[in-house]
Each structure stands twice: as structure tokens, then as C-alpha cells.
């Protein structure tokens, strides 16, 4: 289960990097560097920005949730801190 979640997290990270690079900030970006506004041509000028922004927030939120779920599974679902025994 942990291996599956790790693969899903890796795919999520790769998609998140791609979506962030596609965004067109004030100073340009990868989108303007490689052939102009490809996303705007595909989805229309106003809808592409909304779609890319929603994808960014969705992928970031899913990454956050997946990391917390994986940490809970790895820890065995316990939140206790084990007490260390005193040296003898």
C-alpha cells in the first residue's frame, strides 16, 4: 500500500511541476517561451487560466492529503510517542 501511495505521490508531483511551468506569470514563462499561448489556443483565453489555476490548487491539495495519509499508514496509525527506557 505504501509503495502504491508513493507512486501516486510521484505522479502527482510531476503533474504539479508541469502545471506550474505552464502558467504564464507576469514576466512570461514556459508557455510564452515554447510557441506562444498553447493553453489559450486549446481552451480559450479566459478558461485556460481558470483551468490551470484549479489544476494547481487541486494537485497541491491532493499532494498534501496523500502525504498525510502515507505518514499515518507508515506510522501504523498510532500517534503515541514511545517512552524510552532508562539505561541500566
Residue 7 has pLDDT above 60, yes or no: yes
Higher pLDDT, 41 or 24: 24
Cell numbers representing residue 56 in the block: 494547481
> Which pLDDT band holds residue 25 (cuts at 50, 70, 90)?
low
Burial class (CB in 10 A: 0-12, 13-18, 19+), 48: buried
What lies within 8 Å, CB to CB, of 67 at 6+ separation is: 9
The sign of the CA dihedral 21, 25, 29, 31 is positive
What lies within 8 Å, CB to CB, of 9 at 6+ separation is: 63, 66, 67, 70
Amino acid at each position: 500500500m505504501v509503495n502504491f501511495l508513493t507512486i501516486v505521490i510521484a505522479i502527482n508531483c510531476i503533474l504539479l511541476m508541469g502545471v506550474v511551468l505552464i502558467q504564464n506569470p507576469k514576466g512570461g514563462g514556459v508557455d510564452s517561451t515554447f510557441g506562444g499561448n498553447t493553453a489559450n489556443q486549446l481552451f480559450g483565453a479566459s478558461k485556460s487560466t481558470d483551468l490551470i489555476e484549479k489544476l494547481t490548487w487541486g494537485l497541491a491539495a491532493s499532494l498534501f492529503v496523500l502525504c498525510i495519509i502515507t505518514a499515518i499508514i507508515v506510522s501504523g496509525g498510532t500517534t503515541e510517542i514511545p517512552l524510552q527506557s532508562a539505561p541500566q
